[in-house]
Amino acid sequence: MYKLFLLILLVFSCSGEENVDGGGGTEPPTKIIPSNLVFNVEVSGADNNNPNGNGTGVVKFTATANDAVNYSFRFGTGDSKESSSGSVEYTYTDVGTKTYNVNVLAYSSTGDFISSAKTVTVYVVPESDADILQLLTGGSEKTWKINAAFDSHFSLGSKDHKYPSWWEAPAFSKSNSGFYDDEYTFKNDGTYSHKTNGDVFGKAKYLIETFGSTGQGSNSDGEIEKYNLSNYEGSFYVKNENDEKKIILNNKSFVGFYVGEHEYTLECDSENNILLRSVDSDNNAWYIWLTDKDVSTNSSKDLFTDLIWSDEFDYNGKLDSNKWSYEVRNQWYNEESQATTDRLENVRVENGLLKITAKKENYGGKSYTSGRVRTFQKLDFTYGRVDIRAKMPSKAGTWPALWMLGSNYQSIDWPKCGEIDILEHAGNRLNQIQSTVHHPDNYGSGDSKVTYDYNDVSTNFHVYSLVWTETAMTFYIDDKPYHIIGNACSLPFNWDFNIIVNVAMGGTYGGSIDPNFDSDTMEVDYVRVYQ
């Protein structure tokens, strides 16, 4: 009987608490459930070229929902952020391309919530080498352009070398293509922008594979000279790997002439110019020179206008000892047959001309004498324009040369010091003019070219010129270019050289000497150096 009474009492108590209107109690609040949740994710810099962003790792998250007063974002990394506005930014830091599961919870004023989930794929650039980054960005950002005013601003070579060895573009020779007006901006935060001004230049197969067909045809070299492509942004990082300075661009980004590659090595750098190299899938090495200055409207041959040194030979007798020294020897390389002297019979100045005369005579154990003079330790210089107006000897066996040698040859020897032959001529090959450079990778025959365009080199004066820059060595006759050799920091043509003028006899280039040879003379009207 007691248990039944207690049960009735408990039932009566609970029922009484439900009827609170007259008893002083409170009703629980009505739940508010948010609805219509919209969740958006925006990866910074993402576009068709960079679907996973620009490499900064920055992602913007936004959410809206009816009756929501607060949002909680969960980024898939263990981190979260709250926001009453429904908008937050988060920076992912894991290097590379990573995918994350992200969530947002939309809360009402009663603490009730609904949620939504997405996946986001984000690209984050690795940390860059500080020194290379400083060079490329100047500590903030730098914009680079193709240095079209210089010969060999665009060139091609073997993948086995670090300099162009096959082909070099003359200044402004690609003016009809779409990359001279391009601008490449590298920023210290790892972002990259390519201002195409509407078109770019590259190999058709790579452009179409990467960006799609625009219906444009290619030229005979398989290139599309003005492929339609809008400005785009991307990212990059730089690293020093095995003593190679590497620039890696993400996704579809590229620099210069597009050959399907997004990794470049920085082969050369000076205060305002850099040389980039990329190797395509066919093992061709492509080179592009960039500058962070305004590109000159004058080609490199016209940039050197200050006359820093000259000899007009407007005196008589011995050479000016403030400008020249004699090399007196009876033994030379290349199986040459002459002894060289400082006698007036072999080297003299008269009637406004330097005359170097080869003679048949027994002297110093040799059967011929001649002269060889140089500017070593009187004029040693790096880069510029050299003009030498001269007339060649013609008899078989003569070997006149107007050339330059690295002024450090005594410490590192030939061919490491480098050699630049502005002109070589042989009486046995009359009117064939040859220009050559010699360096450790090609010291025998050298990088050489012969022109047959002149038939009066021993009867008339011509101006033989070298225009020498950090990008190229270009050879001219009477201001007409006929040979370009690309320069690079891996070559020994970026330090002081001096000028040498001589006439050899016989040897590996001069060949057989006419048994009736008595004498012959090279005449030089002037030597001028501009910078």
Catalytic residues: 419, 424
Please state whether beta strands 58-66 and 87-91 pair in parallel, antiparallel, or not at all (unpaired): antiparallel
Distance CA 84, CA 63 (A): 10
Prior bond to 34 cis, omega within 30? no
433 burial type by CB count under 10 A (0-12 exposed, 13-18 middle, 19+ buried): buried
The amino acid that residue 321 corresponds to is: S
Of 433, 403, 434, the residue nearest 420 (C-alpha): 403
What are 412's two structure tokens? 């590192």
The CA distance from 403 to 398, in Å, is 16
* Beta strand ranges found along 188-222 (DSSP E): 191-195, 199-203
**Cα(365)–Cα(477) distance, integer angstroms:** 37
Helices then strands, each counted (H, E), the chain: 5, 36
CA dist., res. 359 & res. 256, Å (int)? 55
Q: How far is CA 403 from CA 45, 179, 273, 437, 465, in A?
A: 54, 36, 27, 10, 10
| E-only strand ranges, 48-165 | 58-66, 70-74, 80-83, 87-91, 96-107, 113-124, 141-146, 154-158
SS3 content of the chain, % helix, strand, coil (to 5): 10, 45, 45
Q: Is the dihedral of CA 386, 389, 391, 393 positive or negative?
A: negative
Largest CA distance in the chain: 155
* CB-based contact 502:339 (threshold 8 Å): no
The residue type found at 173 is S
Helix (H/G/I), strand (E/B), else coil: 6: helix
* Gap between the Cα atoms of 426 and 401, Å rounded: 9
Q: With contact defined as beta carbons under 8 Å apart, do 324 and 374 qualify?
A: yes
Q: Residues 521, 525, 529, 530: is their CA dihedral positive or negative?
A: negative
Please spell the DSSP secondary structure of 391-436, one letter per residue: E---STTEEEEEEEEETTHHHH-TTTT-EEEEEE--GGGTT-EEEE
